[in-house]
Amino acid sequence: MPTFVSVLSPASPRWRALSQLALVLGGTALLTLSAKIQVPFWPVPMTMQTFAVIVLAMAYGFRLGTATVALYLLEGALGLPVFAGTPEKGIGLAYMTGPTGGYLVGFLAAAALAGWLAERGFDRGFWKAGLVNLLCTALILTCGVAWLSAIVGFDKAVSVGLLPFAAASLLKIGLGAAVMPLAWRRLAAFRA
């Protein structure tokens, strides 16, 4: 099934390649922005990064979505201050192998899963898109807590790396469930 972005892509192979490059670069900029903006929330401030990873991958599909997140991680590994809390909390591989490393690994896995499911039509309806967002958020949090457990132990990892983010995650799952189906409806109305 075509992804949202593939439907909008130019027909010419030359222009398609240029548009995909622009999408990947724009996607990494969006991921950086989503990491830097903190929304006041309880019990901890919320970034929109997990939302951006999942929705971007749903719109882009498996290959382009995974490539975008991989480039974003490479930018961070090379020392660009693209992650939440950078450069204040460090940059590069030192930051990536620290307490948040598992969440970053989860971003790549979630992008691959979200893109793959979107290519199978799971971005077209609220409930299916909600399932994608739920599964991918769970994947990110599982990777993050597993990584953090190796550093601080399982109980502490759950108390600091999962529970404070539960309410914000539910909100972002609901928002993510609505975005892609709405985008598809708007596109259909525009083309009609």
Q: Which class does domain 4-191 fall in?
A: mainly alpha
Q: Structure pTM?
A: 0.94
Q: What pLDDT, on the 0 to 100 scale, is given for residue 87?
A: 87
- Inter-residue contact 103 to 143 (CB < 8 Å): yes
Q: How confident is the prediction along the chain (192 residues), in pLDDT tens digits per residue?
A: 899 999 888 778 888 889 999 999 999 999 999 999 988 887 677 899 999 999 999 999 999 999 999 999 999 999 999 998 888 888 899 999 999 999 999 999 999 999 999 999 999 999 999 999 999 999 999 999 999 999 999 999 999 999 999 999 999 999 999 999 999 999 988 887
Q: Domain-by-domain residue ranges, the chain? A: 4-191
CA distance linking residue 44 with residue 26, whole number of Å: 28
Chain centroid offset of residue 117 CA: 14
